[in-house]
Amino acid sequence: MDKVSEIAKMIDHSLLHPTLTDEELREGCEFAKKHKVASVCIKPYAVRSTAALLKGSDVRVGTVVGFPHGNSLPELKANEAELACQEGAVELDMVVNIGKVLSEKWDYIEAEIKAVNDVANKYEAILKVIFENDFLPEDKYKIKLCEICSKVKVAFVKTSTGYGFVKGDDNKYSYKGATDHDLELMRKHCSPEVQVKAAGGLRTLDDVLRVKEMGVTRIGASATEAILREAKRRFRE
């Protein structure tokens, strides 16, 4: 596998913006198929049509669970995962209940992660657990989540949704997304079998190469076209 293909196979092409139309979703899936990325991460209602569109390609169908704020009941998250897998999803990106994390209700968090991971295992799909690190003010929360995810044996831990904007003292919203500090922390505190996905703010090839060196194996990106364009210029010309 050449370097461009290697980069492409790190990318979950994100098609999750609230305003994305059906036509834009279709075009995004066609783009993903053409450039042979790892997966598309799409809205739940589009799983069935996307599975049909990508049939015969090696691009995996991914969708989200409890997205973007993680507030659904665990039973609903499990049901959402079940339906997604039945319709063709083979990758699930689930948001934890952030309020429960901040309340340190770890039994609750472990139970909801296990419920969705059990569904994923039933269908031979994989689960990525989204922490939404911008909402977690101390490393202790992230470390505990890594420990739980390692215990449950999920496939991936993931930094962010891309939509976790934090309101500052100036009443403006900001977003850090995948920081080097968090990625190093997550890689350090997860078992070797749990992979790390970086999402939020990764827009350039250099961003991808940097996090790859930290042990990241997947990234979530909406700037896929720009990243791959630069990869082709740098590695093939």
Distance of CA 216 to the CA centre of its chain: 12
Annotation marks residue 114 as catalytic? no
CA distance linking residue 152 with residue 158, whole number of Å: 15
Contact between 20 and 43 under an 8 Å Cβ cutoff? The reply is yes
CA distance linking residue 226 with residue 170, whole number of Å: 32
Q: Which of 93, 128, 134, 182 is catalytic?
A: 93
CA distance linking residue 158 with residue 16, whole number of Å: 16
CA distance linking residue 65 with residue 104, whole number of Å: 21
Q: Which of 33, 77, 114, 158 is catalytic?
A: 158
Which two structure tokens, joined as six digits, stand for 37?
A: 């990325």
Annotation marks residue 180 as catalytic? no
Annotation marks residue 197 as catalytic? yes
Which residues does the annotation mark as catalytic?
Answer: 93, 158, 197
